[in-house]
């Protein structure tokens, strides 16, 4: 970590940590208004939902402390609402307008400052958006135009109501100042209230807040004036804008540049540039990296003000290129720092292979069930286990059977505590079912967690045996050698229905690995028996890419119902563009006579549909691989898919817990 001015902090010097010169631009100090940031890396606003009645909890503070301790120069707090008209019934959003906000936020600011970073609070009003949660207040907006994402049309704000919301921004800014924050950022991106006023698509008013460009920016001007009235000298003000809203009729980069030029003269110290609107701004692994960088460069060139850019920037090498090329002054990360808060310090010390990369799957980090979690970092939302980082008094022999994510995470944590760990994996590669899933179109980043854990096995001197299937006799011998055995034998594809025995059929795994049989006509039906998650849909996409004509069916009443919502629309657009025929609420009927066509039968009645399919991919939940009948108990832990097949996050969390408790 660095203190102000870019010098190594005491802890680095004391422990003799080598500092590389591989990223000189990223790890140079930067002057932002009156602030000196120790480097150019920023923890972007990403709320934790760890709030009670609108007030940050200790868990929220601990999360932001980890970000600061990991080495970023600036932390921007997650969206903090400014007015009662934009609270959720759950009260999981932090409410900046309340007096109780001040002491809780002061504690957060204090620990962030203690670790050498600066803190800016992001202030937000959602307007007509309610981010998937109910509210006791009606949605409000410049005009009574309903969003497709929510159930109700918004109430059109009166001028008096607008003034009251602006007052909420003033009070919220004053509370940030009282809490010791270094600045405040207006969230005017992602289709929230300021953006709703700016855009002619969502602002149809004919009074002083609508019509002309200047009138449409009046609301944001008033907000900035109210905030500046409470800001002491040196308090930084920023504005977040969407360079591209990415919706038909929405604002694009030319609009963004015009807005930024207008706001630049109103005391703004920096712009934060992103892309998208609610429901589509957290880009998953199907999007390219650094998507907003060209927009940021345009704003920087037009305004001459410092520019922060984020959005799917996953490593310091990319950040170095952005800064070195002059596209932006600061580079932000959100999910990458959730996956590994120590990404900055590891990168600065040349330990790039130790960075645990974000997979871009948008699962746990976007579900907020009940708050922030991460598929690959079990500490997020749970806290660090008391045993992690504490050397064991008596190292034990730990044998892990299974080299998927659960077994490897258990091995990593146990070895990190000082245990002697040996891993046995029956195949010739680590990764288990994740390796197959990573063969899916647009989901190759899944393999990153396997690569990371494989590197950790080498770093921690874990003995890894590949091609080492374990039978009952081997297990009996292992029980005599090991102090603790971890069974993590994983899962396998379910058997295909017996009615398909005389028909061309394949499992999802065979399709993803391109091992399905070739048949005349290259027609296929993919049937999802009730999962709703990625496997069947990935099989459809894989077949389309291989030139097949594909019909998809499921008895569920919605498509991709368990795929993370920010990934659903891009997925279905790709399948539609590929020509897939998609059917919900249909069961697949397979006649006993293999010469008869398959039939799709509507679940709720209606005519059958015959399918000229030549290959059937019938997706059922995976089944456990538990060959030993060994139950958890003293000296034995059973984790991951061999308990019951679930997600990567469950495997990682269970492996972490077991590794910490041996």
CA distance 98 to 53: 10
Is-above-0.75 flag for pTM?
A: yes
Q: Which domain holds residue 449?
A: 397-493+625-661
CA distance 170 to 183: 13
Residues 191 and 152 in one domain: yes
What's the helix, strand, coil split of the chain in %, to 5?
35, 20, 50
Cβ(340)–Cβ(316) below 8 Å: no
Cβ(522)–Cβ(633) below 8 Å: no
The band of 20, judged by pLDDT with boundaries at 50, 70 and 90, is: confident
Q: What is the pLDDT of residues 566-577, one digit of tens each?
A: 999 999 999 999
Please list, in sequence order, all residues whose beta carbon lies within 8 angstroms of the beta carbon of residue 149, skipping any fewer than 6 positions away: 129, 278, 279
The answer to whether residue 383 is domain-embedded is: no
The band of 630, judged by pLDDT with boundaries at 50, 70 and 90, is: confident
- Which of 367, 384, 412 finishes a domain? 367
Q: Check whether 514 has a pLDDT greater than 90.
A: yes
**Over pLDDT 90: what percentage of the chain?**
88
Residues 310 and 217 in one domain: yes
The answer to whether residue 21 is domain-embedded is: yes
What's the CATH code of the domain at 304? 3.20.20.70
CA distance 548 to 519: 10
Residues 480 and 510 in one domain: no
The band of 12, judged by pLDDT with boundaries at 50, 70 and 90, is: very low
Residues 74 and 129 in one domain: yes
Predicted local confidence at residue 14, as pLDDT: 34
- DSSP-assigned letter for residue 418: T
Residues 194 and 263 in one domain: yes
Residues 515 and 638 in one domain: no
| Strand ranges (E), 61-142 | 74-76, 80-81, 118-124, 140-141
What's the CATH code of the domain at 537? 3.50.50.60
The torsion angles phi and psi of 529, rounded to 5 degrees, stand at -65, -20
- Which of 324, 350, 367 finishes a domain? 367
Number of domains into which the chain is organized: 3
The answer to whether residue 378 is domain-embedded is: no
The answer to whether residue 380 is domain-embedded is: no
**Both structure tokens of 620:** 């059922």
Residues 404 and 473 in one domain: yes
The answer to whether residue 376 is domain-embedded is: no
Residues 247 and 360 in one domain: yes
The answer to whether residue 601 is domain-embedded is: yes
What's the CATH code of the domain at 466? 3.40.50.720
Cα dihedral sign, 404-410-414-416: positive
In a 13 Å sphere around the CA of 433, the CA atoms on its Cβ side amount to 24
Residues 545 and 598 in one domain: yes
CA distance 526 to 479: 44
Residues 95 and 242 in one domain: yes
Q: What is the pLDDT of residues 288-338, one digit of tens each?
A: 899 999 999 999 999 999 999 999 999 999 999 999 999 999 999 999 999
The answer to whether residue 390 is domain-embedded is: no
The band of 195, judged by pLDDT with boundaries at 50, 70 and 90, is: very high
pLDDT average, residue stretch 399-416: 98
Residues 344 and 463 in one domain: no
Q: Check whether 378 has a pLDDT greater than 50.
A: yes
Q: What is the pLDDT of residues 95-105, one digit of tens each?
A: 999 999 999 99
Residue 459, helix vs strand vs coil = helix
Q: What is the pLDDT of residues 35-84, one digit of tens each?
A: 999 999 999 999 999 999 999 999 999 999 999 999 999 999 988 999 99
The answer to whether residue 503 is domain-embedded is: yes
Residues 513 and 449 in one domain: no
CA distance 549 to 29: 55
How many CB atoms lie under 10 A from the CB of residue 315?
A: 17
The band of 621, judged by pLDDT with boundaries at 50, 70 and 90, is: very high
Please list, in sequence order, all residues whose beta carbon lies within 8 angstroms of the beta carbon of residue 597, skipping any fewer than 6 positions away: 591, 610, 611, 612, 613
Predicted local confidence at residue 83, as pLDDT: 98
Q: Check whether 7 has a pLDDT greater than 60.
A: no
């Amino acid at each position: 970590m660095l203190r102000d001015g870019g010098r190594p902090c005491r802890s680095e010097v004391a422990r003799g940590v080598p500092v590389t010169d591989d990223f000189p631009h990223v790890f140079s100090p930067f002057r932002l208004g009156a602030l000196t940031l120790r480097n150019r890396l920023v923890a972007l606003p990403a709320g934790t939902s760890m709030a009670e009645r609108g007030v940050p909890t200790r868990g929220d503070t601990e999360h932001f402390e980890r970000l600061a301790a990991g080495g970023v120069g600036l932390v921007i707090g997650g969206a903090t609402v400014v007015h009662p008209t934009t609270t959720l019934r759950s009260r999981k959003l932090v409410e900046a307008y309340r007096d109780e906000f001040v002491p809780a936020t002061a504690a957060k600011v204090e620990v962030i400052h203690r670790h050498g970073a600066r803190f800016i609070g992001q202030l937000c009003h959602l307007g007509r958006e309610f981010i998937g949660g109910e509210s006791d207040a009606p949605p409000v907006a410049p005009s009574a135009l309903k969003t497709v994402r929510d159930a109700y049309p918004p109430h059109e704000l009166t001028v008096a109501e607008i003034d009251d919301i602006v007052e909420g921004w003033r009070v919220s800014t004053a509370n940030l100042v009282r809490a010791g924050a270094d600045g405040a950022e207006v969230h005017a991106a992602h289709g929230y209230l300021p953006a709703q006023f700016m855009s002619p698509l969502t602002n149809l008013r004919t009074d002083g807040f609508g019509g002309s460009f200047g009138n449409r920016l009046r609301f944001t001007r008033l907000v900035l004036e109210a905030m500046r009235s409470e800001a002491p000298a040196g308090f930084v003000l920023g504005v977040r804008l969407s360079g591209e809203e990415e919706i038909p009729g929405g604002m694009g980069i030319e609009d963004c540049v015009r807005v930024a030029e207008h706001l630049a003269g109103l005391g703004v110290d920096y712009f934060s540039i992103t892309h998208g609107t609610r429901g589509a701004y957290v880009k998953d692994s199907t999007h390219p990296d650094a998507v907003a960088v060209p927009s940021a460069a345009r704003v920087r060139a037009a305004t001459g003000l410092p520019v922060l850019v984020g959005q799917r920037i996953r490593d310091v090498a990319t950040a170095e290129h952005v800064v070195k090329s002059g596209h932006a002054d600061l580079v932000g990360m959100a999910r990458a720092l959730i996956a590994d808060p120590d990404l900055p310090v590891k990168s600065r010390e040349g330990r790039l292979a130790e960075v645990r990369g974000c997979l871009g799957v948008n699962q746990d980090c976007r579900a907020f069930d009940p708050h922030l979690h991460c598929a690959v970092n079990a500490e997020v939302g749970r806290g660090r286990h008391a045993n992690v980082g504490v050397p064991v008094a008596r190292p034990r022999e730990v044998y892990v059977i299974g080299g998927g994510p659960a077994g490897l995470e258990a091995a990593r944590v146990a070895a990190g505590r000082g245990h002697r760990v040996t891993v046995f994996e029956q195949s010739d590669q680590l990764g288990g079912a994740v390796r197959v899933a990573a063969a899916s179109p647009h989901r190759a980043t899944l393999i990153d967690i396997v690569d990371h854990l494989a590197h950790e096995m080498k770093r921690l001197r874990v003995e890894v045996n590949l091609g080492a299937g374990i039978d009952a006799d081997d297990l009996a011998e292992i029980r005599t050698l090991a102090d603790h055995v971890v069974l993590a034998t994983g899962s396998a594809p379910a058997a295909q229905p017996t009615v398909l025995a005389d028909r061309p059929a394949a499992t999802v795994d065979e399709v993803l690995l391109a091992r399905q049989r070739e048949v005349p006509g290259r027609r296929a039906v993919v049937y999802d028996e009730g999962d709703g998650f990625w496997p069947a849909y990935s099989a459809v996409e894989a077949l389309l890419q291989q030139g097949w004509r594909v019909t998809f069916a499921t008895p569920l009443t919605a498509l991709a119902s368990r795929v993370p919502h920010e990934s659903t629309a891009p997925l279905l657009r790709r399948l539609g563009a590929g020509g897939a025929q998609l059917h919900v609420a249909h069961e697949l009927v397979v006649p006993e006579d293999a010469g008869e066509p398959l039939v799709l039968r509507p679940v709720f009645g209606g005519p059958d549909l015959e399918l000229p399919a030549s290959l059937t991919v019938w997706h059922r939940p995976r089944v456990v691989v538990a060959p030993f009948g060994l139950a958890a108990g003293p000296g034995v832990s059973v984790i991951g898919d061999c308990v019951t097949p679930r997600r990567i996050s469950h495997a990682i969390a269970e492996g972490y817990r077991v590794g910490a408790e041996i």
